[in-house]
DNA sequence: AAGAAAGTTTGTAATTATTCTAAAGTTCTT
DNA sequence: AAGAACTTTAGAATAATTACAAACTTTCTT
């Protein structure tokens, strides 16, 4: 049964996210009950394609979509999804967390004026000579943020 | 020894920071009056060599050194120093800002368990093929954070 | 050096983002 | 259907940071 993604078109790009599995399945596999709230948020998050949201933004969207969800649930859900590997948290500015629906290997442009994030595909950036991590430590992740501006 | 460590010769490494100028001069050049508070904080920050502090940490240190400085002034000062190029703000975790006394080109290891930051000298890491920034935008800075752990 | 102008510091209140809590509601198992 | 397990939620609580206006220092003028 574990022919997980069946990768119909050897979709290397599809990756772990398994975009073809219905959302209910993805939640179940993550050990999360498919509640009304989680399903709605998952649709808002994953159906439009790659995006970056803050908790407040997602809350507004949910409200706009006439979905009743408390802010506490927004936070719970974002963290549970992140925990489950469905989202990735990106820290760029003090006092605000972005959640990225693209969990594949990539980095970011950050437009300082607008607070907007844009993906840089993993192949378009590369680190040469990453230094050895200090004794006994393992690299868990490397984040690259390219800050860009209009002015200046 | 690394080539950068023998700074004296045509001190390209000394950089804007001008470590030999007395602190009073550095503040004046930054357009900041050398007040008792700023001088004390500057000494706490710059005399011990490269370091990473949060506002709360610096406040504790000042208290410990029997220097009366309000938390508001700590924040003001950290931001003014950053503005003046004497410090650099590093955002790594939501809800907490670090200020780095090393303003030369470099990146960071972040030890997730302890919330500790360590410098990675600029020469020890390199980006290959940085992508073109989106139309009309200029790269103002590139931040690389290598997150490391003990466990896992 | 005195007085005024300009810039700083500070206690406190206010804000912002986020987390906590316990009660009420939902989903799953049997 | 009933109970157990898990979720949601309103609202209180926390944490980090910023705002404000009065009191204070430093610098500038004369």
pLDDT, tens digit, for every residue of B74-129? 999 999 999 999 999 999 999 899 999 999 999 999 998 888 999 998 788 877 77
Asked if A133 and B91 come within 8 Å (Cβ–Cβ), the reply is no
Q: What is the 3-state secondary structure (H, E, C) of chain A?
A: CCCCCCCCCCCCCCHHHCCCCCHHHHHHHCCCCCCHHHHHHHHHHHCCCCCEECHHHHHHHHHHCCCCCCHHHHHHHHHHHHHCCCCEEEEEECCEEEEECCCCCEEEEEECCCCEEEEEEHHHCEEECCCCCCCCCEEEEEEEEEEEECCC
Shared domain for A91 and A112, answered yes or no, is no
Higher pLDDT, B17 or A39: A39
What is the rounded distance in angstroms from the CA atom of residue B11 to the CA atom of residue B18?
A: 10
Tell me whether B6 touches chain A (CB under 8 Å).
no
Residues B75 and B30 in one domain: yes
Cα end-to-end distance, chain A, whole Å: 56
Clarify whether residues A41 and A68 are in a common domain: yes
**Segment A120-139 mean pLDDT:** 84
Bases of chain D within 7 A of a CB of the protein? 6-11, 15-20, 25-27
Asked whether residue A1 is domain-assigned, the answer is: no
**How many Å from the CA of B39 to C1' of C5?**
23
Residues B24 and B90 in one domain: yes
- Count CB pairs under 8 A between chains A and B: 117
pLDDT digits (tens, 9 = 90+) for A28-66: 999 999 999 999 999 999 999 999 999 999 999 999 999
B21 pLDDT tier (thresholds 50, 70, 90)? low
Note the pLDDT of residue B152: 64
The mean pLDDT value for B60-77 works out to: 97
What total of structural domains would you count in chain B?
2
High-pLDDT (> 70) share of chain B, %: 86
pLDDT at B4: 35
Q: CB B125 to CB A130 under 8 A?
A: yes
Judgement on whether residues B56 and B79 belong to the same structural domain of the protein: yes
Tokens of A41: 């948020």
Contact A139 B150 (CB under 8 A): no
Please give the pLDDT value at position A21: 60
CB-based contact A131 B142, cutoff 8 Å:
no
Q: Which two tokens stand for residue B70?
A: 């309000």
Indicate if A138 and A79 belong to the same structural domain.
no
The token duo for A124 is: 């378009």
Among chain B residues, CA nearest to A123: B129
Residue range of the domain that includes A43: 16-100
Q: What confidence score (pLDDT) does residue B2 get?
A: 37
pLDDT band at A10 (very low <50, low <70, confident <90, very high): very low
Does one domain contain both A46 and A92? yes
Work out the pLDDT band at B8, boundaries 50, 70, 90. very low
- In chain A, what residues touch B118 (CB-CB under 8 Å)? 134
Cβ < 7 Å from nucleic strand D = A 31-33, 35-38, 68-73, 76-77, 94-95; B 33-36, 54-56, 71-72, 75, 79, 95-97
Residue of higher predicted confidence among A81 and A134: A81
Q: Are residues A94 and A40 in the same domain?
A: yes
In this structure, the answer to whether residues B51 and B113 fall within a common structural domain is no
| Domain contains A132 | yes
């Amino acid at each position: 049964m574990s022919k997980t993604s069946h990768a119909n078109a050897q979709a290397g790009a599809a990756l772990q996210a398994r975009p073809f599995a219905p959302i209910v399945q993805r939640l179940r596999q993550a050990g999360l009950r498919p509640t009304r709230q989680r399903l709605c948020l998952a649709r808002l998050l994953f159906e439009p394609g790659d995006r970056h949201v803050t908790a407040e933004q997602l809350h507004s969207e949910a409200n706009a979509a006439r979905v009743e969800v408390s802010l506490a649930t927004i936070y719970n859900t974002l963290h549970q999804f992140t925990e489950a590997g469905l989202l990735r948290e990106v820290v760029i500015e003090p006092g605000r967390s972005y959640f990225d629906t693209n969990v594949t290997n990539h980095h970011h442009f950050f437009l300082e004026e607008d607070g907007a994030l844009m993906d840089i595909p993993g192949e378009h950036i590369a680190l040469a000579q990453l230094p050895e991590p200090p004794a006994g430590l393992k690299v868990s992740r490397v984040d690259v943020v390219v800050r860009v501006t209009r002015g200046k």
